[in-house]
Chains A and B, each alone.
Chain A
């Protein structure tokens, strides 16, 4: 048999083996926490681990009987959705303007917005927190929304500017010759062209605001607490309520997983515009 053919065959098998190992490494921990959410406490802490068990919904029922968790779930939806709305309302026109203006200062503005992403969140949180104490914004939705906008808004501008840059200028020029104003051309001609990309940006903003932990942990108490922080309710030193922790983790991750699957095509541009985690 041809030796080089054999070698190629071998390397192909090697590639597949590495890929499968990689996928198992990345997916197994998620599988593990999901099974944990469906185990009764005895099974969850069984050692050696129980791979086959009778699934139960007990953990989910218990966490949803807890009014505080439902409240924090609603808070998370409110805060993330508000961030998306403000992000789009303020970010989209700005991104379009930055894409179309031919001025020397445009690149400085873009750099300022990029720099906003590089600022450590802690450096912004400290002064904002003491301002919030003075203004009574601690533990309010508005406070958390403002904090989250520090990364949602720059993300919006960066992602959308790249989309607008791809729309050929001739489209608007034709509309303007037909008597459209800039605003009309923007709303009627350009926006429909990038509708899909706008949805992707919205979903990205939503995920980022939903996943945010540091700000939510520090500026919310009981009233505006988000579900990301609610996991802490089941973590204490005497006893970890693993079943409930796992069930809450599944509830937290579910929307993020579903959404990110829909925008996987835009994942790279979204991630490079916004980074992964706050």
Chain B
């Protein structure tokens, strides 16, 4: 038998390759991100990089496009949460009453979340098509015909619908897993005490589902902040800039204007925003959990 110290050494050695790879592909780029944000660095500029201190940062703060992208991102994330979380909860409540065939139902609602984002974007672009799309065809019954993606008033809402289609299955399946862990005895006891359906939901399901709910909220926020394929293929940030999220704005700065310095500064802002959000959310969740 190996000594405890030799065992520990082996285990640490097993960890090394993974950590080395992660350092190379994550830590080094992140350091570079911060470094570039202090340079005037355009790929098109033959003179290379020039150190300009905090200039990129003061530019970001004054940038109206940046402010717009923050507002768009905020609206988008809010729209995602306000639709997916309550609807997810509602569906979970409904599905929990169906005992037979629940495995089949789960398999049937799964496809949208595994389909590549690109394919989801293509499908919905086709469905939203103003002259031949199915959505206008169905709504034609009510006399509604609309250019859903092209009209700035409905662009974001249309994108939120696509996100709803693609990601609500995730919310439902996550919460179903949490819901199935709640013992039926609790509901029986509640019924004996004369609680109605709403009271059972409010005082048993909701508090005990809190963990899954919080994870869903955290993931939906983080993932919708980095959403790219839908916007890129359906609206390209337009019309105008009504669907240019901060993620898409940084992309455009880097790959249309090849301004690596400025887009890196945007990247730093995104990184700080995400970190701050995650820390605050985790704090709130942990606080709630200990209460």
Other-chain residue from A36, A93, A127, A186 in contact with B126 (beta carbon distance below 8 A): A36
Interface contact B26-A130, CB-CB below 8 Å: no
CA gap between A18 and B228 in the complex, in Å: 31
| Contacting pair A183 B10 (CB below 8 A) | yes
Once the chains bind, are A149 and B271 in contact (CB under 8 Å)?
no
Which of A63-71, A118-126, A193-201 is the contact stretch?
A118-126
Task: Tell me whether A256 and B114 are in contact in the complex, defined as CB-CB below 8 angstroms, given that A97-B12, A126-B250, A127-B29 are known contacts.
Answer: yes
In contact, A181 and B30 (Cβ under 8 angstroms): no
Stretch at the interface among B56-64, B152-160, B182-190, B262-270: B262-270
Cα distance, A22 to B173, chains bound together (Å): 13
B229 partner residues in chain A, CB cutoff 8 A = 213-214, 277
Q: Type the 1/0 row for A265-278, where 1 means its CB is closer than 8 Å to any CB of B.
A: 00110011001111
B98 touches A123 (CB 8 A): no
The range of chain B's interface size is: 35 or more
**If A101-B11, A213-B228, A277-B223 touch, does A130 touch B132 (CB 8 Å cutoff)?**
no
- Given the complex of chains A and B, what is the CA–CA distance between A27 and B7 in angstroms? 51
B115, A253: Cβ atoms closer than 8 Å: yes
Q: Would B117 and A211 count as touching, CB distance under 8 A?
A: yes
Indicate if the CB atoms of A131 and B32 lie closer than 8 Å: yes
**22 A-B pairs, CB-CB below 8 angstroms?**
A11-B97, A19-B94, A22-B109, A26-B112, A27-B111, A32-B127, A89-B17, A101-B12, A118-B222, A122-B267, A123-B267, A126-B260, A127-B264, A154-B22, A176-B2, A217-B232, A231-B118, A257-B115, A260-B110, A261-B107, A267-B173, A277-B223
Interface residues of B (CB under 8 A from A): 1-2, 7-8, 10-12, 14-15, 17-19, 21-22, 25-26, 29-30, 32-33, 36, 41, 43, 91, 94-95, 97-98, 105-120, 122-124, 126-127, 131-132, 134, 137, 165-167, 169-170, 173-174, 177, 215, 219, 222-223, 225-229, 232-233, 247, 250-251, 254-255, 260, 263-264, 267-268, 270-271, 274-275, 278
Beyond the given pairs A32-B134, A101-B11, A149-B25, 18 more chain A to chain B contacts, judged by CB atoms under 8 angstroms and listed by A's residue number, are A11-B97, A26-B109, A29-B112, A29-B120, A29-B123, A29-B165, A94-B15, A94-B19, A109-B15, A120-B226, A120-B274, A123-B267, A123-B270, A133-B43, A154-B22, A183-B10, A253-B116, A268-B173
